């Protein structure tokens, strides 16, 4: 038996080793060929999309048509039956392939699922519907009292206006865009679901969650868990805001649900401008420095950590500032960062104005750009030039945004007076009104809505009802007046239209960024996480670069454990805001809690 058995085993080994090599060679050749075509098509699609997003001319669909064509060409390749078959065949021999090959093939299959040419007509219809939705969304003429108004101007009214009637008008003006997008969203929901179902996904939400190696239920349960962990603090903030805002707007009645137009943000996702911290008037300082300075300053911050300067082409090709008032075209008003060729061409599309909100967003977008630059190295195959997961990509720049707001950092840059006494509790409160307030919106309202939209086939006549049900349940917010089914207030949020079923990325990114920040503060800087100064610290830079440069070739769970010693957890975020609890409970004594 032994005699027979051993040679047999040896034979299998030799045979399978030989086979392993064959499969690996075969996969290598296939992946290389794929990449060559893919990079070209990807670049063409990016260029077309870039034009569509930076130059929207009413009545002129040239850019939209070019984008549709480029995306069709990309779909025809990535979703071709040939590619699907070959990729699947190779993946049947997973055990014989390298981890990197498996990851790349899985990404190819993921891309194919969005474009399967087994149902080419559905894919074409989806691409057409997507281009049209983008055009409508960013070509929309916002109007206030019969006059055109930009989203930056609406945001500014919501930040500073004290008159509730004017606030309500501005808020309502910001929601008008949703009505015209509703039909497109109904259509897109159907087409997106149908597309990915062809490759075996239950629905589009499941498809997007699979990018994290998670099932739809796991993702939504994770969202509910995160929300629960932050809820005690959010309840305090909600109570505090209801009473403080009622005072501010001179209302004798404190409503149970916060009226949406009382809040300094169109969706109630960030209330930080409610609080001014004496001694830190960032808005005023930034106004005096200007928008360009803000972008350059964010770059200097990354450079101070040891990252390179942005390539010249970044400044030449990006679209960083609002279009002039007399321009004959519009552009996408929501900030984004672009990796045009998955190599050296990196850009950002923003409408930067000198204020604290854009200061933070600029750091956020440059985080994406430095992530792109970090993994665009020969070690990382083109198909793995992405974040360890999507949330990591969102986290890096937001982490820098958090760091760039802390007092020791601001003091070093002379943005605040070193010697000015500032109130630590107010500072923490302002931060909580940003980061904590975001969680019920992102992990609750947005994620649950998209879950119901794609996985539960939410009826179109219920879109608005469901949106406001969720806003009441998670954020404790209500619209100023009844909003009937003709509205689609969810669709006023860009991501619902053009970044579908992935808003949980942002909720996760906040959780992760506090884990990284906690580690950096305590173990690298040896500073209090509430008062750090990352500026010029090369160790911090090395730490961040080590997270970013492997791109998607890293396993996100392992990476988190390795870098922070922890699994994904809201612990660090909860701990950061813990000192605020006592203060808020004190403030809220005798007040009615309604969440
Ligand atoms: O969309 C963004 C970025 C672009 S990736 C500006 N963010 C979310 C939003 O604006 O809703 C950043 C935080 C949340
Ligand atoms: Zn982002």
Q: Tens digits of per-residue pLDDT, 133-166?
A: 999 999 999 999 999 999 999 999 999 999 999 9
The reported pLDDT for the residue numbered 525 is 98
Q: Are 184 and 460 in contact (CB under 8 A)?
A: no
Residue whose CA is at the smallest distance from ligand 1 atom 7: 506
The reported pLDDT for the residue numbered 10 is 39
Rounded average pLDDT over 351-368: 97
Residue whose CA is at the smallest distance from ligand 1 atom 2: 335
Q: Which residues define the annotated binding site for Zn(2+)?
A: 364, 368, 394
Q: What is the pTM of this model?
A: 0.96
In this prediction, residue 282 has a pLDDT band, given cuts at 50, 70 and 90, of very high
* Nearest ligand by distance to the CA of 361: 1
Q: Which domains does the chain possess?
A: 9-137 (no CATH), 217-587 (1.10.1370.30)
Q: 10: Cβ–Cβ under 8 A, 6 or more apart, which residues?
A: none
13 pLDDT more than 50: no
Under DSSP, is residue 112 helix (H, G, I), strand (E, B) or coil?
helix
What's the chain's length in residues? 595
- What residue has token string 């969102």? 394
Q: What does the radius of gyration of the chain's CA atoms come to, in whole angstroms?
A: 25
In this prediction, residue 17 has a pLDDT band, given cuts at 50, 70 and 90, of low
- Ligand 1: residue of 336, 358, 394, 399 to mutate (most ligand atoms within 8 A of CB) is 394
- Ligand 1: residue of 137, 266, 361, 510 to mutate (most ligand atoms within 8 A of CB) is 361
Q: Summarize the chain as % helix, strand, coil (round to 5).
A: 65, 5, 30
Rounded average pLDDT over 423-449: 98
Rounded to 10 deg, the angle between the 99-114 and 81-91 helix axes is 150
361: left (phi over 0), alpha (psi -120 to 50) or beta: alpha
d(CA 358, CA 351) in angstroms, rounded, equals 8
In this structure, the number of other CB atoms found within 10 A of the CB of residue 26 comes to: 17
Q: Pocket around ligand 1: residues whose beta carbon is below 6 Å from it?
A: 335-336, 361, 364, 506
Under DSSP, is residue 593 helix (H, G, I), strand (E, B) or coil?
coil
Residue whose CA is at the smallest distance from ligand 1 atom 5: 336
Each residue's pLDDT tens digit, 89-112: 999 999 999 999 999 999 999 999
In this prediction, residue 18 has a pLDDT band, given cuts at 50, 70 and 90, of low
User: Which one of 365, 431, 448, 552 is the catalytic residue?
Assistant: 365
Rounded average pLDDT over 210-238: 98
336 Cα–ligand 2 center, Å: 6
The reported pLDDT for the residue numbered 554 is 97
């Amino acid at each position: 038996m032994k005699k027979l058995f051993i040679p047999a085993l040896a034979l299998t080994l030799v045979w399978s080793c030989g086979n392993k090599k064959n499969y690996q060679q075969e996969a290598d050749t296939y992946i290389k060929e794929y990449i060559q075509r893919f990079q070209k098509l990807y670049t063409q699609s990016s260029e077309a999309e870039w034009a569509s997003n930076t130059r929207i001319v009413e009545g002129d669909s040239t850019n939209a048509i070019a984008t549709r064509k480029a995306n069709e060409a990309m779909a025809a390749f990535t979703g071709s039956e040939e590619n699907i078959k070959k990729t699947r065949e190779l993946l049947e021999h997973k055990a014989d392939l390298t981890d990197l090959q498996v990851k790349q093939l899985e990404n190819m299959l993921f891309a194919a699922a969005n474009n399967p040419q087994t149902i080419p007509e559905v894919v074409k219809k989806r691409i057409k519907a997507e281009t049209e939705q983008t055009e409508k969304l960013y070509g929309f003429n916002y109007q206030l009292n019969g006059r055109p108004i930009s989203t930056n101007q609406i945001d500014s009214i919501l930040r500073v206006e004290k008159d509730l009637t004017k606030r309500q008008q501005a808020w309502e003006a910001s929601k008008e865009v949703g009505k015209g997008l509703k039909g497109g969203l109904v259509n897109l929901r159907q087409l997106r679901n149908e597309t990915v179902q062809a490759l075996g996904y239950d629905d589009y939400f499941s498809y997007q969650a699979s990018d994290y190696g998670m099932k739809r239920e796991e993702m939504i349960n994770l969202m509910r868990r995160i929300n629960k962990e932050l809820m005690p603090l959010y309840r305090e903030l909600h109570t505090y805001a209801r009473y403080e805002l009622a005072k501010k707007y001179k209302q004798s009645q404190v409503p149970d649900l916060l009226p949406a137009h009382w809040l300094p943000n169109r969706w109630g996702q960030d209330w930080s401008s409610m609080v001014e911290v004496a001694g830190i008037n960032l808005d005023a300082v930034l106004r005096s420095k200007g928008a360009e300075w803000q972008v350059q300053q964010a770059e200097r911050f990354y450079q101070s950590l040891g990252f390179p300067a942005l390539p010249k082409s970044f400044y030449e090709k990006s679209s960083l500032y609002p279009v002039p008032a007399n321009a004959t075209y519009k552009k996408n008003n929501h900030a984004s960062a672009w990796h045009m060729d998955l190599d050296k061409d990196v850009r950002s599309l923003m409408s930067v104005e000198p204020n604290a909100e854009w200061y933070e967003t600029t750091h956020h977008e440059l985080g994406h750009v430095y992530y792109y630059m970090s993994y665009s190295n020969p070690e990382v195959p083109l198909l793995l030039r992405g974040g360890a997961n999507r949330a990591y990509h969102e986290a890096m720049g937001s982490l820098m945004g958090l760091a760039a707001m802390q007092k020791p950092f601001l003091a070093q840059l002379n943005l605040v007076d070193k010697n000015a006494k500032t109130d630590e509790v107010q500072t923490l409160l302002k931060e909580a009104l940003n980061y904590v307030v975001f969680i019920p919106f992102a992990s609750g309202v947005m994620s649950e809505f998209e879950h119901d939209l794609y996985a539960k086939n939410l009826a179109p006549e219920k879109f608005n009802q469901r949106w406001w049900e969720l806003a009441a349940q998670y954020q404790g917010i209500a619209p100023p007046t009844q909003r009937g089914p003709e509205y689609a207030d969810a669709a006023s949020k860009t991501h619902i239209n053009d970044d579908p079923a992935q808003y949980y990325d942002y909720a996760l990114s906040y959780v992760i960024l506090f884990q990284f920040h906690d580690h950096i503060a305590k173990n690298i800087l040896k500073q209090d996480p509430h008062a750090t100064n990352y500026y010029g610290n090369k160790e911090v830079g090395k730490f961040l670069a080590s997270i970013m440069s492997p791109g998607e070739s890293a396993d996100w769970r392992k990476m988190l454990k390795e870098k922070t010693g922890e699994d994904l957890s809201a612990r660090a975020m909860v701990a950061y805001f813990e000192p605020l609890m006592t203060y808020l409970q004190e403030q809220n004594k005798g007040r009615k809690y309604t969440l």
